[in-house]
Amino acid sequence: MRLNDSQRLILRLACFLPLVAAPAATNWIFTLPLVEHRVARDFDPIADALRAGKTVWTTDDLRTLKATCIRRMPKAADVLVLGGSRSLALPEEVFRPAATFNASVLTGELDDMVAMFEVSLEAGKIPRSVVLELNPALSLRERQEGLTALDVPLHRALARYHLAAPLRQMQDLFSIARFRANVRQLSAPEWGISDTSFRDRNRIFPDGSGSFGQHNVDPSPDELHEIVRFNLEHLDRPSLHWRTTSQPTGFAIKVLRAFLSDLQSRGIQVIALFAPVHPVAYRFYRERGGYDETWLRRELASRKIAIVGSYSPAAVKAVEADFYDDVHPKPGLLERLFRESQLTPGHPR
């Protein structure tokens, strides 16, 4: 039987179906809790080292590590810190005698906070208090590293909030970026224990707090000035959007409200952290529309949620020496802000 042109075209296109089906099948498999936990098992030794009081160094994304630590905790931490790199340096000492775990991750946003709490909830590790390090934009327009290991628990949380995005999940299923991210998860994490300081690795302490890159070395005033200048002149597109946007999308606001309602309905004390910005950088970003606290303060006040700090360095009497760079405060400044707030996170409900 001779085939016409249309039939030959259909047969040729059919040959490409396995190329489409394989990524979709792989992505679907990685959404299964059994596979999710099996992939995370490579991080068990790192979590065990942290529980043993060791400080570890790693180049891997912190999301899987922090989620693994939460799942392997013998009991829930009294205080759970959720945020991005600006709260990563917040140490347990701030909240003692309450036991604290800092689950902040690099380039962390609202989605990561929601997903990390979902991990805690599913593991039965519900904290008494949650500290949320928030940015007025709430969510990144685009992630610098693409899809993350917390996207699957995020979808489960959004489904609980009746905010599931079927189109987004379907796109993820056929996403080549998702496929590549899943394949990367099959690689063993790179980590080690050392007393040496590394400027190209993340340092994580037993309480989950830590530092990264150049923050492993305290800059001199001249070095800090140069770091701030360079960072402001070389902003990539995601960072520029994140730091010059003070009005989130409507969907992000819905997620925040559902998340806060979820936390408060469980009797969890919610504290918002507004991490200050370097004085020079604050002027730069505010002139371009960033770090406006107005709407976020109003939203939190309507729920009687306490706020620690301010994006404005002048408002909290922060000076240039309190920062590692344009947006990352040192632990000492964060400790002072909580001490002056006189809040008592982690106390019994």
**Which residue has better confidence, 148 or 253?**
253
Domain boundaries in the chain?
Answer: 22-341
Q: What is the mean pLDDT of the chain?
A: 84
First to last CA, the chain: 78
**Which residue has better confidence, 6 or 347?**
347
Cis geometry, peptide bond prior to residue 97 (ω within 30 degrees of 0): yes
Q: CA nearest 80: which of 264, 265, 345?
A: 345
User: For 34-42, which contacts have Cβ atoms below 8 Å and span 24 or more sequence positions?
Assistant: 36/152, 37/71, 39/64, 39/185, 39/186, 40/64, 40/67, 40/68, 40/71, 40/149, 42/188, 42/189
Pairing of strands 129-133, 269-274: parallel
Most confident of 21-30, 47-56, 288-297: 288-297
Q: So what's the pLDDT on residue 216?
A: 74
Average pLDDT over residues 99-106: 95
Q: So what's the pLDDT on residue 217?
A: 79
Pairing of strands 202-204, 56-58: antiparallel
- Tell me the pLDDT band of 7, cut-offs 50, 70 and 90: very low
- pLDDT surpassing 80 at residue 185: no
Question: Which DSSP symbol is given to 216?
Answer: G
pLDDT tens, residue by residue, 134-148: 999 998 865 544 456
pTM reported for the whole predicted model? 0.85
Lowest mean pLDDT among 24-28, 42-46, 192-196: 24-28
- Six-digit token pair at 199? 């400027």
